[in-house]
Amino acid sequence: MLLRLDDLRRHFGGVHAVDGVSLEVEKGSIHGLIGPNGAGKTTLVNVVTGYVRTQGGTAWLENDKLTGRPPHRIAALGVARTFQNIRLFGDLTALENVMIGMHTRLHDDTLAQLATLPIFRRDERSVVNDAHKLMETVGLDPSEAGRRPAGQLPYGDQRRLEIARALALRPRLLILDEPAAGMNPSEKQGIRELIERLNADGLTILLIDHDMRLVMGVCQRVSVLNFGRKIADGVPQEVSTDTVVIDAYLGSGAEKEAARAPGTTELRDLERARPALRRAAEPEEAILDVQDVWVSYGAINAVRGVSLRVAEGEVVALIGANGAGKSTILNALSGLVPIASGTAIFDGLDLINAKPSSIVRRGLVQVPEGREILGRQTVLENLELATWTRRDRAAAAKEIEAMMGRFPILGQRRGLRANTLSGGERQLLAIARGLLAKPRLLLLDEPSLGLAPQMVDEVFAAIDEIHRGGTTILLVEQNALRALEIADRAYVLETGQIQLTGSGQDLLHNPAVRMAYLGG
Amino acid sequence: MDFILQLVTDPVAFYQTHTLLIAEIGINSILASSMFVVLYSGQLSLAAPGFMAIGAYTSVLMGNYWNTPFALNLLVGILLAGVVGVVVGLPVLRLRGVFLAIATIGFIEALSLGVILNVPITGEGLGLKNPDADPLGGINIVLASLAVIVFLLWRLTQGRLGHAWDAIRQDELAALSQGIPVARYKMIAFVLSAMLAGYAGGLESHLNFFVDPTEYGVARTVQVLTFAVLGGSGNVLGPVVGALFLTTLPEIVRVPNFDYRDVIAGAILILVIIFRPQGIVGRGGLAIIRPRWWPKSRSSASAPG
Amino acid sequence: MGQQVLNAIFIGSIYALFAVGYTLVFGVLDILNLAHSAVFMLGAAITYSLVVNYHQSFAVACVLGIASCAVMGLVIEYICLRPLRRRRAPPIAALISTIGLALIIVAAVEQGRQGSIFSWLWVDGANSVSFPSGTVPNPTWHVGGLTLEATKVAIVPVTVALMLVLGYFIRFTQFGRGLRAVAENPRAASLMGLDVDRMITLTVVLSSALGGAAGILFGLAISDISPYIGRDNLEIRGLAVIVLGGMGSIPGAVAGGYLLGAIEVLALVVFGSNVRAGVAFAALFLMLVLRPQGLFGAQVHERL
C-alpha cells in the first residue's frame, strides 16, 4: 500500500467537492481515477498534494502522513504531480525546468556559491547529466529541445517535459492529471507507452484522465468519483461494465469505446442514420474564402499558408493534433489574432483588417474553446449579451425566449449564475449564445473538450440539429471521429499546414487518417 | 558634454571633482540591488525607502546619542531593518502583485507620516543633524561594498536559491510542486532586500550632514522602481545600470529654467515598459510579476480544458 | 466633535468620488491607474487657472476643467494603456506606465511659472493656492454650535448625485451592461460583437472626468490647490479606500470613502492631528492582511 486516503473531505461554500473519499493505491501499480467534470478528481489531488487543506480524514504515503503538510513538504516526501493546465516555467529552458525539479535533492550551496568553489562545478555537471537522462526518459532530445524556452515547445513536448520535471523529484508516487489531454490517438499511444515504461521501472502512478481507452488500457485498478464520492473501485473490466458508473459517466457511445480493449480489431459501427453528402471538391461559391494565411505568435509560425473554403449550409471540420493551429485559425478569422499574410474574405468582408466587432456583426460568430461565459452573471444575462448590438430590444427578447425553448435546460436555469452550471451545460449556453448572435457562419472551437462522454453525445446532437436548421458550421475538434461523422467536408491540419482534405466519410475511411487520429 | 570629456581624458580629476556624484551613483546602485532581489523573486515590493529610513535614522541617532563608531551604528541599522523586514514581511508576503505593492506603499507612508514625522527623537519634520558625517571619506566604502554586493548577488542567482527565486517568480504553485519552500524563500529575499536598503540608507546618512525626512516616501520608491524598470530586473546588473544612467543624466544634460528630471523619468517609464519591458540589460521579457489569476495573456501553446 | 463628524462626511464624499473613478478602471481593466491622482490635481489646477488667470466664471471653468480631464483620460488610454494591451503585457506594466504619466503631469504643473514653458497651464509653481473668495458664493451658517460652509455642504449632494447617476448608468443602461460584460470577460464581449477598445476608452474618460470633478470639489472646499494634492493627499487615500471597499466594486468605493473619512476623524479625535495620515495607511495595511478583497470585493483565488 503506497497511498492510502481515509475519508477525505473538502467543501467549498455549499459544494462538497470531496465527500468522504477513501481509496488505496498499491505500490508499483498504475491506478486510474476517473469521473465526470466536477466530480472532485482534481480537488482530491489538490488535497493529497497539499494545495488545499482537508476538512476531515487523512492521507498517508506509506508511513508518512500527508494531510496537514504544505505542498513543498509533500513534494519532498516523494509525491510528484503534473497539472491539468500545464504549469511549466515558461521563460526557463526545458533543461532548466527539469533541473528545478532537483531542488530537493541538491545541498544548499548558497555559501559555496558565494565563494565560487570548484566543488560546486562538479555538482552542477552531475545535475545537468541527470536532467539530460530524465529528458531522454520521456522522449525529449536534451540537446535540441533542452535549450529552448519551455513556453515555446510544441504542446505534446510540454506535457512530456512536465513529466520529466516531476520525475526529477525521484518520487515514490507520480500523479498525472490529464497528461494526454488534447492529444490525438497516436500521441496518446506515446504517452501510454511512457507511463507503462515508467511503471515497469517500479514507479507507482496515479492517473487522472477522461480518455477511457487510455485509462482502462493502462491502469491495473480504477476508482470512479461522482459528486465527490467514490462510486466504484476495481479492475477496468469491472468498472467499465458497472451500471452505476455507466449511468453516471459513460454515455452509450463511450461504453462501446471503453469496452474496446487494446489489441482487438473490432471496428466500430461507423455508418450513421444520417446520409452524408459526398462532396469532395471545394465548393465554387464560398461564404468563407481563406487563401494562404499565415499567423504567428511571436517567433512561432502557428499557421503556415492555410487555404480553405466553406460554402453556405455546409458543416466543415478542421481536425488535427493539438498545437496544429486549428484554434489559431478560428481566432484569426474572428479578428482576435493578427493575420500576418494571405487573404481571408467572409461574405465580402476582409477579415484581415476588420475589427472583431465588425466581423461579428457581419455574421461570423465563434463559440470559443474556453466557452468564455460570464460566470458571475445569470444564464439570461449571458444570452442577453449576444443581443447587445441589436436595436430592436423587443424582438431580441423574443428570440431569447425561443432559444431557451430550444435548449430547455437553459430555460430552467435562467436565473442562476452561469458558474453554477456543469461543463456540458456551459457548452450548451455558449452555443445558444453564439446562435443568438445570428451567425451566418458559426465557428465551433472544440465543443466536446473536457466533457464527460454523455455530454459529448448531447452536444453533438445539438450541433447536428443546428446544422439541419440551415446554419453553416466550421468545426474544430480533437475528437476526430465525431467530427468526421457529422462533417460534409474536412481539412486535416498538421503543424500549421493543411495535409489532407476531402469529404467527411472519405477521410473517415482514409488509412492515414485512421492511423493518426482514429486509433487505427 | 564636457562631463564625458573629462571622464575620458582625466579620470582622476573627474573622480575628485565629482566625488559626491559618484557616491550618489553608488548608493542608488545599492538601492537598485535591493530592488533587484525582491523583483527577481517575483515580489513587487516598494518598501525600500522605509528600510532606508530605518538604517539612516538608527545609525545617526546612535552616533549622536551614544557616540558609538560608525561601523557599529551601520550594522545595528542593517539588523534593525532586517528585523522590521521580518515583521512586515510575515503578513504581507501572502499578497500577490498589486496588493503587495499597495501594502508596501502603505508601510512606507505609515512609517514616514506616522513615525518619522511624529516622534520627537527623529527631529520630526526638521530632520536630523548628523555632525559625524564624512562626505568625502565615505565614497570608498560605497564603491567597494557595491562591487561586493553585486558579485555576491550574481553568485546567488547562479545557485540553488537563485534558481528557486526564478521559478517562484514565474509560477509559485509549480515551484511548490517541486519542493521549493516558497514562503520561506520569499521571506529571505524580502529581508535581504530590506537589509540592503537599510545599508544604503545608513551609508547615505553618513555622507550628509542632515537626514531629510522627506527622502523616504513614495517619490523615492518611484525613483528606485525606475532604476529597475530602465535597467531591467532579470539580471543583477540591470538595476545598477539603470541607477547609473538616471543619476548621471541630470549632470550631463541641463535645460535652463526647467527641472525636467521627473518628466524624463516619467517618459522613460512609459517608453521602456511599452517598447523594451525587459530593460536595458534585460533577460527574457517582463516576467517580473505575472500572477496566474490575472487575466491571462495568450501563450503560444495553450492547453485545453 | 460634531464639527469633526461633519468634516468626516465632507472629506469622505471626496474620497468616495475619487475612489469610484479608480475602481471603475480597475473593475473593467484589472489595472490600477496611478495617473488618476494626477488628473484629480489637474482638474483643480486647470479650473483655478481658468478662474484666476483667464478670468472665466467658475461655471465655465468647471466645465472646461472637467472636459480637460476627460481629454487626459484619452491620453491615458492611448499612451499608457492601449499599447500595452496590444502587446499583451501583464497588468503591472500599466501600473508603471501610469506612474510615468503621473510624474510628467505633476512635473508640468510644478514647472508652471512665469516665463516657463508651462505658464499657460499654471503660474504658481510649487505653491499652494486657493480660489479667491467670492469665486463661488459661500455663505456660512451656524447651527447648533456647528459651522456650515456652503461649499463644504454642497460637496455631499454633488458627489452623491454623481455616484447615483453612475450607478444607474452601470446597472440599467445598455452601455452599463456591456461594461460589466467587458469587466468580467473581454473576450466574451468581443466575440459577441462589442467594441471592447471603445468601451475601455469611454470608461477611462469617464473615470478621469470623475477624478477631475473630485479635484475641483477638493480645491473649492479644502482651499488647497497645488501640484501635489493628488500625490500627497489623495493617491494613497484612494488606494486605502479601494482596498477597504474592495477593488472593482463601486459600492465598495463609496462605502470605503466614508469609512476612511470616519476612521481619520476618529484618529484625529483620539490621537491628535499628527497621526492622521498614518492612520489611513494602518487601516489599509490591516485590511490587506486580514481581508485582501475588502468589504465588497470578489475573493481572489488562484485556481489550480
Residue whose C-alpha cell reads 523615492 in the numeric block: B220
| Domain residue limits at C105 | 2-123+138-290
Contact A517/A319 with Cβ under 8 angstroms? yes
Encode chain C (304 residues) as per-residue pLDDT tens digits: 778 788 888 889 999 999 999 999 988 888 899 999 999 999 999 999 999 888 888 899 999 999 999 999 999 999 999 999 988 888 888 999 999 999 999 999 988 887 777 878 888 888 888 888 777 777 888 887 788 888 888 888 999 899 889 988 888 888 888 998 998 888 889 998 899 999 999 999 999 999 999 999 999 888 888 898 888 778 888 888 988 888 888 888 999 999 988 888 888 888 776 666 677 788 888 888 888 888 887 765 555 5
Q: What is the CATH number of the domain that holds A206?
A: 3.40.50.300
Q: Give A316's DSSP letter.
A: E
Cα→Cα distances A380→B143, C174, C186, C187, Å: 66, 15, 18, 19
If you measure CA to CA, which chain A residue comes closest to C173?
Answer: A388
**Best mutation site among A89, A121, A163, A184 for testing chain B: the one with the most B CBs within 10 Å?**
A89
Chain centroid offset of residue C21 CA: 5
Asked whether residue A297 falls in the same domain as residue A407, the answer is: yes
Q: What is the pLDDT of residue B90?
A: 92
- The verdict on A162 and A195 lying in the same domain is no
Q: Which residues contact B232 (CB under 8 A, 6 or more apart)?
A: B238, B239, B241, B242, B278, B279, B280, B281, B282, B283
Chain A contact present for C192, CB below 8 A: yes
- Choose the mutation target among C96, C97, C190, C231 for the interface with B, i.e. most B CBs under 10 Å: C96
Residue C81 lies in a domain: yes
Chain A residues whose beta carbon lies within 8 Å of the beta carbon of residue B160: 103, 106-110, 113
In this complex, do A366 and C191 lie within 8 Å of one another by their Cβ atoms? yes
What is the domain count for chain C? 1
10-residue block means of pLDDT along chain B (305 residues)? 69 75 91 94 93 92 85 92 95 85 88 74 74 76 91 87 92 93 95 96 88 86 91 88 88 71 89 88 52 33 29
Contact A487, A477 (CB under 8 A): no
Q: Is C299 domain-assigned?
A: no
Distance (Å, whole) CA B78 – CA B72: 10
Examine residue A7 and state whether it is found in any structural domain, yes or no.
Answer: yes
Residue A421 C-alpha, separation from nearest chain B C-alpha, in angstroms = 16
Determine whether the interchain pair B106/C240 forms a contact, defined as Cβ–Cβ distance below 8 Å: yes
C268 touches chain B (CB under 8 A): no
Put simply, the answer to whether A100 touches B178 (Cβ < 8 Å) is yes
Which residues in B lie closer than 8 A to residue A155 (C-beta atoms)?
301, 303
Number of domains forming the structure of chain A: 3
Task: Give the pLDDT score at A278.
Answer: 41
Chains that touch A (3 or more CB pairs under 8 A): B, C
Domain ranges, residue A327: 288-517
Lowest mean pLDDT among A365-369, A410-414, B177-181: A410-414
Same domain, A450 and A355: yes
Residues 6+ apart with CB under 8 A from B14: B6, B7
Same domain? For A27 and A49 the reply is yes
Burial class (CB in 10 A: 0-12, 13-18, 19+), C55: exposed
The predicted structure's pLDDT at residue A251: 44
Residues of A in contact with C184 (CB under 8 A): 374-377
Quick check: is A221 in a domain? yes
- Amino acid identity, residue A220? Q
Q: Is A218 exposed, middle or buried (0-12, 13-18, 19+ CB in 10 A)?
A: buried
Give the CATH number, domain containing residue C194. Answer: 1.10.3470
Contacts of B286 in chain C (CB under 8 A): 89-90, 92-93
Rounded to a whole number of angstroms, the distance from the CA of C261 to the nearest CA of chain A is: 31
Residue A213 reports pLDDT greater than 80 = no
Within 8 A of A378 by CB-CB distance, chain C residues are: none
Contact B107 C302 (CB under 8 A): no
Residue count of chain A, please give it: 520
Please answer yes or no on whether C188 and A385 come within 8 Å at the CB atom: yes
| Domain match, A250 and A369 both | no
Is B297's CB within 8 Å of C90's CB?
yes
* A59 neighbors A18 (Cβ within 8 angstroms): no
- Closest partner CB to B299 (pick from A96, A151, A478): A151
Check if B300 contacts A (Cβ < 8 Å): yes
- The span from the CA of A141 to the CA of C145, in Å, is 84
Residue C164 maps to a domain? yes
Does B152 contact chain A (CB < 8 Å)? yes
Find the closest chain B residue to C303 by CA distance: B293
pLDDT of residue A164: 95
Contact yes or no for B178 and A478 at CB 8 A: no
Question: Which residues does chain B have within 8 Å of residue C289's beta carbon, measured at their own beta carbons?
Answer: 91-92, 94-95, 103
Tell me the chain B residues in contact with residue C301 when contact means C-beta distances shorter than 8 Å: 293
- Tell me if chain A has a CB within 8 Å of the CB of B304: yes
- Give φ, ψ of A192 to 5 degrees: -60, -45
Q: Are B173 and A99 in contact (CB under 8 A)?
A: no
The mean of the pLDDT values for chain A is 83
Nearest Cα residue to A223 out of A34, A4, A409, A29: A34
Q: Does residue A300 sit in the same domain as residue A247?
A: no
| Same domain flag for A358 and A454 | yes
CB contact under 8 A, B305 and A84: yes
Report the 10 Å Cβ neighbour count for C115: 7
Q: Helix A393-406 and helix A379-386: axis angle, to 10°?
A: 120
Q: Give the pLDDT confidence of A458-500 residue by residue, as tens digits.
A: 888 888 888 888 899 999 987 788 888 888 899 988 777 787 8
**Cell output for A170:** 525521484
Predicted TM-score (pTM) of this structure = 0.85
Q: Are strands A315-319 and A489-494 parallel, antiparallel or unpaired?
A: parallel
Residue A120's pLDDT is what?
55
Q: Do A8 and A70 belong together in one domain?
A: yes
User: Among A21-35, A213-227, A233-247, whose mean pLDDT is lowest?
Assistant: A233-247
Nearest to B182 among A72, A86, A151 (CB): A72
Least confident of A22-26, A78-82, A209-213: A209-213
How many other C-beta atoms can be found within 10 angstroms of the C-beta atom of residue A364? 29
Q: How many CB atoms sit inside 10 A of residue C82's CB?
A: 16
**Is C86 at the interface with chain B, CB within 8 A?**
no
Picking from A50, A178, A298, the nearest residue to B305 by CB comes out as A178
- C-facing residues of B in 32-51 (CB < 8 A) are 44
For C176, name the nearest residue in chain A, comparing CA atoms only. A388
Chain C residues whose CB is inside 8 A of the B94 CB are 289
Whether residues A346 and A454 fall in one domain: yes
H helix or E strand, kind and range, residue A230: strand A229-234
Inform me whether the C-beta atom of residue C89 falls under 8 Å from chain A C-beta atoms. Answer: no
Q: Which residue from B minimizes the CA distance to A152?
A: B300
DSSP character for A224? E
* Domain contains A262: yes
Any chain B CB within 8 A of the CB of C103?
Answer: yes
Residue C206 in any domain: the answer is yes
Chain B: residue whose CA lies nearest to A478:
B304
Domain co-membership, A363 together with A452 = yes
Q: A177 and A152, same structural domain? A: no
Q: Which of A446, A449, A378 is nearest to A37 (CA)?
A: A449
What confidence tier does A276 reach under pLDDT thresholds 50, 70, 90? Answer: very low
Tell if the CB–CB gap between C30 and B288 is shorter than 8 Å. no
Q: What are the DSSP calls for A86-129, one per residue?
A: ----TTSBHHHHHHHTTGGGS---HHHHHHT-HHHHHHHHHHHH
**C-alpha to C-alpha distance for C191 and C199, rounded to whole angstroms:** 14
Whether residue B285 lies within 8 A of chain C, CB to CB, comes out as: no
Q: Judge whether C175 is closer than 8 Å to chain A, CB to CB.
A: no
B132-167 in b/e form (b: 16+ CB < 10 A) is bbeeeebbebbeebbeebbeebebbbbbbbbbbbbb
Counting Cα atoms < 13 Å in the Cβ hemisphere of B84 gives: 26
Q: Is B159 close to A154, i.e. CB distance below 8 A?
A: no
Q: Which of A123, A154, A170 is the last residue of a domain?
A: A170
CB within 8 Å: B178 and A90: no
Residue A346 lies in a domain: yes
Q: Cβ contact (<8 Å) for C174 and A433?
A: no
Q: Does C233 touch chain B (CB under 8 A)?
A: no
Look at residue C128 and tell me if it is in a domain. no
**Interface test with chain A among B161, B178, B187, by most A beta carbons within 10 Å:** B178
Contact status, residue B122 vs residue B112, Cβ threshold 8 Å: no
- Residue A303: is its pLDDT beyond 60? yes
User: B186 to chain A: which residues are within 8 Å by CB?
Assistant: none
Q: Are residues A426 and A316 in the same domain?
A: yes
Q: Does residue C174 fall inside a structural domain?
A: yes
